[in-house]
Structures are given as C-alpha cells and as structure tokens.
Amino acid sequence: MTQDASVFEYEEIDFVTGQPYPQWGRARERCPVIQTDGSMMGTPERSSYQITRWNDVESVLRDGHTFSSSINAEHIGQFMGELILAMDGKEHRAYRNLAAHAFRASQLERWGATAIEPAISEFLEEIAPLGRADLVRDITSRYPVRVICAIVGVPVSDSQQFHQWSEQINTGPLHPEVGMAASRAMREYLEPLVAARRERPQNDLLSDLVHAEIDGERLTDEKIYGFLRLLLPAGAETTFRVMGNALAALLAQPGVMQRVVADRELIPALIEETLRWESSVTQVSRVATTDTEVAGCPISAGSPVAVITASANHDETRYERAEEFDLDRPAQNHMAFGTGQHQCLGMHLARLELRVGLNAILDRLPNLRLDPEAEGVVIEGLAFRGPVQLPVVFDPA
C-alpha cells in the first residue's frame, strides 16, 4: 500500500503557532504513514515520512538497527559536538551507561533539596506579594534552566550566560557563525571547571561525568562537552513547556484545579496526563538504514523519518476520548519520553522538577486563576508545544 499525503489533504503546519493534532488525527485514521517531499527535514530531493500510530511509533523506536538516530548529527551535531542523541548501537550503549550514572536515584534525591526546591522558592518569593503574574515569564521559563545549572555545577551567577550560549548553539543551524562561536565559548568556559573537578570532585553532575567509569572506560572530553551542550535544550526547554501545559490544563478547568489544590496526591496523575495530552516534544527523528516498510508503506534506505510520539499519545485505539485532558484516566504508559534505547535519560528528574514546582506554585499562590482581564491561554507549536503566556491572579501573600 502506498501512502500518499494527498489522500487526506496534507497541510503544512506553522512551526511556532501551528495546531497539528487534527492533522495527525486524520492521518491515524486514513494515512498512518504520511509521505512528504522531505523539505521539512532538509532533504527536498528525497521523500520523508511521518509515523502517527502508537504501534508503529513503538516499533520504529524499538528498532534502532533499521531506524538510526545518526540523522540527529547532521544539523545540531555540528554545534553540540559528540551527541548521545545521534549515536547508535554499541557506541551509544557505552556512552549512555556512563552518563546514566550521573542520574542515579541517590543524586535525584539530593538535587531535590540542593537545586530544585531553592530555585522554585526563589522565583515564587518574587511574585507572591504581587497578586498577579505571567507564570511563563516569571516562573516556568526560568526554573528548569536554573535547576540544570545548579545540578551541573555552573555558578548560579553565570547561569544567564550559560543559558545564552545554549540558545545560540540550539539555533546554530539558522545562524552558523553565532552557533559555532557559542559552542567554542562554552567549551572554553567549562574547561577550567572540568579540570578542577578532575583534581577535586564535588557533589555535582560535572564531577560525576568526569569520574564515571565502567570496566575501565571513561568519557572522553569531547563526549563530556557534547553532553553538557545538550543538557539545557534537552532538559530545560522541554520541562519548561510541560510545566506550562500542566498549569494551562489546571487554569482552564477550575474544578480540576480545586481538586488538585485540595488533594496533592493527584499531582502525579496531573503530570502523567499532561505528558500524554500535551507533551512539549512532539516528535523525534530517525533515518532508515535499509529499504523497509511501516504499516504497509515502503520506505527506502536513507529516508528521514519523523516519529510523532505526540500522535501516538492521542491514538484512539489506546486511549478513550484521546483529545481530552482527563485527570481520572486509568494509568497507562505514554510516549512523551520516547521508548527504546534513546528513551529520555532525564525523565525522573523532569518528573521530580514538575512535582516540586507545581506543588510549590499551588502552595505559594492561593486562589490561583486566569487573569479575567487577559486573553485566553493557547498551547501552540508543531515540534515543541507550550503556552506563550499564562497571565494569572491570586491572593497576594
């Protein structure tokens, strides 16, 4: 069966303001593998494919042999250096085992007290007396960045600079000179910190990365810097938007807000349902290593494949009323953190940040509600989704 985008009236979706779920819904029903001309993936000469159903998303992500991650090196890899997201097979396993050591449970517990709670308290302290805020501007866009800098061991006074380099590296494909300069500057900045941690380890992620050792293997410098350059885009941009989506869900449904304020045991369900309903990362990239097929659709070797994890999360064969946010939905795995070899390394950290952050907001900003004078809240975007603003009022402390 050839799947052609024209059979279901494929439309280009705006990267920043787009609403892709209706199109993915039509695709799951009529054309589960969308074939397009590949210009979106930077390969106009070659077809590219979008995978939209749960079962296909799961099997593609679990088959790293047929669907390689190496495509991730092409664009952003030039600026980030050696990138875990772009590795396959043995090389990926060895690197991941070493890096995973830094995210072990005992570290998470420690970070809760040393990095996560202080960051959210500081930001809430600033707005609590005011009775009015934009939770995106004042809290969610700042909190995960600060947490990652504290975890890595970058002095908090430099976190703005670190954040700026990270953004410039991330937009490197659009502005290559700026991206390369930021990549070099971040490395030069980190070199003395890495050297100091080699001499005298401290209780931070930098020390863990430098000293991690399995069977005599250690991370090379290139892999350490590659990992550090990835951490803010992978860990902060993602968590910040999911936090906004969870708050948007609460603010749009005052009844649900009241229940969660009164019963904090519901916070984990709020987080998991938000990750299913509106994750911040909607898709991950792979490239076919050989001629293959998905759901009967032939895919030739070398074709880019966008695996739409957010569409899998709305697959109506798996979730009833999949488009609705439902706090009482029976617990079931979702695809927000991917699956297979590259499943998100920071997912437990993200969940912890969300749990601590959302609890603190509900504690510190009583009677929290949308600002009646502001415009409504919209979650938007094609590949990354979140609200641009969350104007709220609350009882000032």
Residues that bind ligand HEM (CB under 6 A): 69, 84-85, 96, 148, 230-231, 234-235, 238-239, 242, 279-281, 284, 309, 336-338, 342, 344-346, 349-350
Question: Which is closer to ligand HEM, CB of 231 or CB of 368?
Answer: 231
Q: Least Å distance between CB 70 and ligand HEM? A: 11
Question: Which is closer to ligand HEM, CB of 242 or CB of 370?
Answer: 242
Q: What is the DSSP letter of 281?
A: B
Alpha carbons 60 and 304: distance in angstroms, whole number: 12
Question: Which is closer to ligand HEM, CB of 85 or CB of 190?
Answer: 85
Residue 392 pairs in a beta bridge with: 133, 370
Alpha carbons 239 and 94: distance in angstroms, whole number: 26
Structure token pair of residue 82: 């050696």
Question: Which is closer to ligand HEM, CB of 207 or CB of 280?
Answer: 280
What string of H, E and C letters represents the secondary structure of 350-393?
A: HHHHHHHHHHHHHHHCCCCEECCCCCCCCEECCCECEECCCEEE
Question: Which is closer to ligand HEM, CB of 71 or CB of 182?
Answer: 71
Long-range contacts of 37-41 (CB under 8 A, 24+ apart): 38/303, 38/304, 40/12, 40/306, 41/71, 41/285, 41/304, 41/306
On the 0-12 / 13-18 / 19+ scale of CB atoms within 10 A, 365 is: buried
Question: Which is closer to ligand HEM, CB of 127 or CB of 149?
Answer: 149
Q: Least Å distance between CB 351 and ligand HEM? A: 8
Q: Least Å distance between CB 370 and ligand HEM? A: 23
CA 210 to centroid of chain Cα atoms: 25
Alpha carbons 129 and 395: distance in angstroms, whole number: 8
Q: Least Å distance between CB 375 and ligand HEM? A: 26
Query: Of all residues in this chain, which one has the CB nearest to ligand HEM in the complex?
Result: 346
Residue 391 pairs in a beta bridge with: 134
Q: Least Å distance between CB 141 and ligand HEM? A: 14
Q: Least Å distance between CB 35 and ligand HEM? A: 21
Question: Which is closer to ligand HEM, CB of 230 or CB of 251?
Answer: 230
Q: Least Å distance between CB 262 and ligand HEM? A: 25
Structure token pair of residue 204: 């931070």
